[in-house]
Amino acid sequence: MKNKISRLLSIVCIILFVTAHEADAQYKEKNYGNTPDKVVPYANFQNAYKKHFVEPMPFRGAGREKAAPTGLETVKIGFLAPLEGSKDVPKGQQMLQGATLAMEQANAKGGYKGTSFELLPHNDVGLWGAAANEVVAMDDEGVWAIIGSINDIVTHVAIRVALKLEIPIVNVGDPDPTLTETNIPWVMRVISDDRQSSYALANRIYVQDGLSRVSLLRVNNRYGRVGTGEFKDASTRMGHPVAVEIRFEDGDTDFSDQLNKIKTNNSEAVVLWGDAKELGLIINQMRKMGLNHPVYTCDRAVSPEFLKVTGGNANGIIATSQYNPKADNAKLHAFKKAYKARFNMEPDVFACHAYDGTNITIESIKKAGLNRALIRDVLLDLATFQNYDGVTGEIIFDATWNDVGQIFMVEIKDNDFNFSPVVYTDQKMKGSIK
């Protein structure tokens, strides 16, 4: 009997591998990370000798043969997010609520074969090493997968510990472009990364708006450094290297020194990268100093807090967004209604992506059964979830299991956010890139 079960599991694994391989074939003809042709490194000089991230990293380890446990009181799923002691607690709370709602709805439909799912929240304190302890604790608790987190330092540590412990992780909030480039075959991400935002901003600034000299003012942490990396590279490859890169500290309230440098360097526009409060304060000080440059920002400006801080000063600002919260999407409408009824607030970007990520996790567990390796196989099977239709729209995964679906540009008019999908026009780009 054991031999039959072993042979059956082997056949299932082979089918999953072949199916994922076939689904991935299309990526061999695409640039990694949806990179526009003319922004590919060295594309104007020669083709790459070897391309990376074009095939999914397989997991060839043991574990699929383990029998599912019996007599469980709940099916546990771990959760990692900033829940206390951090300025990101509001983001983490939204993320927790989105995951909670998905789990409550799944339990209302019978859970896992009549057994309820249970979410086990753990605090992401944003410190190196701390995440390792939390992942180990979740392993001790017997979780079958983990949802989280937002902080890129924490997430990088968490996925490496999860690799050792062989726990699937579904990231729903960290936009660090390097996250899935670790090639860890236990990690997927359901939110667009800052690579997508950077290409969208570069296209808008240099192609659509025809500008050429840009100053970059960013927060002095890993989110600012890694998040703007692709924008700087794209700018250089399009013939418009960033004129100056200036930093500010997280929590700063006076940006006069930085803005005076921008005021004297003949920039045509300013790109801002940081959190909503600081970005809003920078806008106010710019306008007070008579700096009326066009302003482009990362997605974190797309929040009620940014509008509250800036007031009318926000009008005309361009930002990016990982989804369109105003989309005519039946799933999104139903989710927003249920979320408002459950938590008495509107969901933000982290709540929406946590809801999608938790539903993908639950669906994988239902399909695979209670076995981490088999859950991983289903979760990271491109044929299963490559085009997942969620409340955030269509989630499309590349060969690193990173979300490369539609990204949006946001223009603030009359103190309101207006969303439009990003469209790259090859003809225009050819004319602007050197």
Record the tokens describing residue 95, joined without a space. 């993320």
Tens-digit pLDDT profile for residues 284-338 = 999 999 999 999 999 999 999 999 999 889 999 999 999 999 999 999 999 999 9
CA distance 25 to 406: 21
Tens-digit pLDDT profile for residues 338-367 = 999 999 999 999 999 999 999 999 999 999
Question: Residue 214 in 3-state DSSP?
Answer: strand
Tell me, yes or no, whether 207 and 158 share the same domain. no
Tell me, yes or no, whether 278 and 251 share the same domain. yes
pTM, two decimals, is 0.90
Tell me, yes or no, whether 215 and 286 share the same domain. yes
**DSSP secondary structure string, 243-290?**
SEEEEE-TT----HHHHHHHHTTT-SEEEEES-HHHHHHHHHHHHHTT
Place of tokens 């990003």: 422
Tell me, yes or no, whether 227 and 311 share the same domain. yes
321: phi then psi, degrees, rounded to nearest 5? -150, 140
**50 lies in some domain:** no
Structural domain of 307: 195-321+409-432
Tens-digit pLDDT profile for residues 170-229 = 999 999 999 999 999 999 999 999 999 999 999 999 999 999 999 999 999 999 999 999
Give the total number of structural domains in the chain.
3
Question: Residue 134 in 3-state DSSP?
Answer: helix
Choose among 172, 196, 225, 217: nearest CA to 421.
Answer: 196
What distances in angstroms separate CA 285 from CA 159, 258, 268, 319, one per listed residue?
Answer: 39, 11, 17, 19
> What pLDDT, on a 0 to 100 scale, did the predictor assign at position 51?
80
7: phi then psi, degrees, rounded to nearest 5? -65, -40
Tens-digit pLDDT profile for residues 224-269 = 999 999 999 999 999 999 999 999 999 999 999 999 999 999 999 9
Tell me, yes or no, whether 299 and 343 share the same domain. no
User: Do 148 and 80 meet the contact criterion of CB atoms below 8 Å apart?
Assistant: yes
Record the tokens describing residue 394, joined without a space. 């269509």
CA distance 202 to 204: 5
Choose among 10, 433, 4: nearest CA to 239.
Answer: 433
Question: Residue 401 in 3-state DSSP?
Answer: coil
Tell me, yes or no, whether 261 and 388 share the same domain. no
DSSP code of residue 311: G
Tell me, yes or no, whether 134 and 153 share the same domain. yes
